[in-house]
Amino acid sequence: MNNSSSIILIFICIAFLNACNTQKEKNKAIDKQIKEETFLGQKPQGLTPELFAPGIVSTDNLEIAGTYDPTSNEFYFLRQVKGQPPKTYVIQNKTGQWQEPIIEGRMDGFISKDGKTLYEANIFRTRTDSGWSDEKSLGTDYENLPIMRLTVSNEGKYVFDERDIIGTIRYSKVIDGQREAPKAFGQNINTGKWTAHPFIAADESYLIWDSEREGGFGETDLYISFRQKDGSWGPAINMGKDINTPFEDSGGRVIGDGKYFFYNTIHLGQSFEESDANIYWVDARFIESPRKKE
């Protein structure tokens, strides 16, 4: 190869590398844009709870049960409009625009970290090319249980509630490839007039739920228990007055990449106009505050 050919080859390589770098920068910009739009273009939340997405999700209607699928940029929530039954809305980010398709019926679902499975009470659905599959049973141990919410850890542990007189939170682990029969948590969790809507951390380091019990701030409060070094669960810790109100505070969960904590505040009045139900969010680092109370 002569010198002129070598120089041309060098210029071609440089041009190719520059093109690759330019594409990488474009990809980074796109990734950044998607990340910023992950929560409907909302300003990143701090350590003080605020109403989520006013005018988009939070409106004069009743909204609860917000959850998120990071793999497809979908935010699910339940909305009730006056004179209509509750419906599940899915805010989807397509071509930079947020759209609002409606799913008939109500859902307080949990989406797996990989976005492939949607759990709804005692059934589940799997992701398909066209959306979610038809309902599939969790198994005979769950078919007749009055479950409201079921959440799943990265290790496959089920944590769920049961609508009975006082509510009971149970769990089921996978041992040697077999799922064990459901077991109830201890009295530190299952105590009070009402206990429901659990959320198990992905790494099983803490459990969040709502309960009506002595010493609370209102009708139901959000509580957290941290997993101890010996595998047991620590005391129930009230998540505090910044989260809990004189009304019903419930449905707490950490969503997305573990960055934000979402929950509901519900005040049911004598009429629809006198009622409020809203979704709030706060930086999940807030959870370190109750941890210090152990």
What is the longest distance spanned by two Cα atoms in the chain? 90
224/239 Cα distance (integer angstroms):
7
| Matching CATH number, 42-291, of 2.115.10.20, 3.30.1360.10, 2.60.40.10, 3.60.15.10 | 2.115.10.20
How do the domains of the chain map onto residue ranges?
Answer: 1-37, 42-291
Q: What is the pLDDT along the chain (294 residues), one digit of tens a residue?
A: 555 555 555 544 554 455 445 555 544 543 444 444 456 677 777 889 999 989 889 999 999 999 888 777 888 999 999 888 888 898 887 766 677 777 777 778 899 888 899 999 989 999 998 888 999 999 888 988 899 999 999 999 999 998 876 789 999 999 988 899 999 999 999 998 889 999 999 999 999 999 999 888 989 999 999 999 999 999 999 999 999 999 999 999 998 678 899 999 999 888 888 889 999 999 999 888 767 666
Tokens at 151, concatenated: 């959440």
Q: How many CA atoms lie within 13 A of 274 on its CB side?
A: 4
Q: Residue 22: beta bridge partners?
A: none
115/113 Cα distance (integer angstroms):
5
Beta strand ranges found along 39-73 (DSSP E): 50-51, 62-69
Kindly calculate the radius of gyration of the chain based on its CA atoms and give it in whole angstroms: 23
198/165 Cα distance (integer angstroms):
17
145/161 Cα distance (integer angstroms):
9
Q: 0.75 exceeded by the pTM?
A: yes
63/136 Cα distance (integer angstroms):
27
∠ Cα 201 87 37 (to 5°):
55
pLDDT of 40:
67
